[in-house]
Amino acid sequence: MPQSQCKHQKLVLLPPQAAKLRCTRCHLTIEETELANNCCPECLAAHSIRHRDFERLEPEADRVRYSCEDCGAVISVLNSKDIFSG
């Protein structure tokens, strides 16, 4: 059964992605939940610097993600009320 036949009609809404943090020094991007030491692991490993200055990257708030129950494809669409009216 070719996958291209799927029309993605059984879509399930996926939970929003977690916020990420970007180190302002080395620009490493890390998930907030992974930042156990509260300092950048890359700066610590490479320069032995405990760097704690991060820029917060919000997940794509203008997009919502759906997963197709039939084929498992993840579809990202603009979060617009025009798409799913009613």
Is 49 a binder of Zn ion (CB under 5 A)?
no
CB atoms within 10 A of CB 85: 6
Candidate segments 11-19, 31-39, 61-69, 76-84, binder of Zn ion by CB under 5 A: 61-69
5: CB partners within 8 A, 6+ apart: none
* Of 8 and 63, CB closest to Zn ion: 8
Is 43 a binder of Zn ion (CB under 5 A)?
yes
Token pair, residue 65, equals 């993600």
* Cα 76–Cα 77–Cα 80 angle in degrees, nearest 5: 150
Provide the binding-site residues for Zn ion, judged by CB under 5 A.
Answer: 6, 8, 23, 25-26, 28, 40, 42-43, 51, 68, 70-71, 73
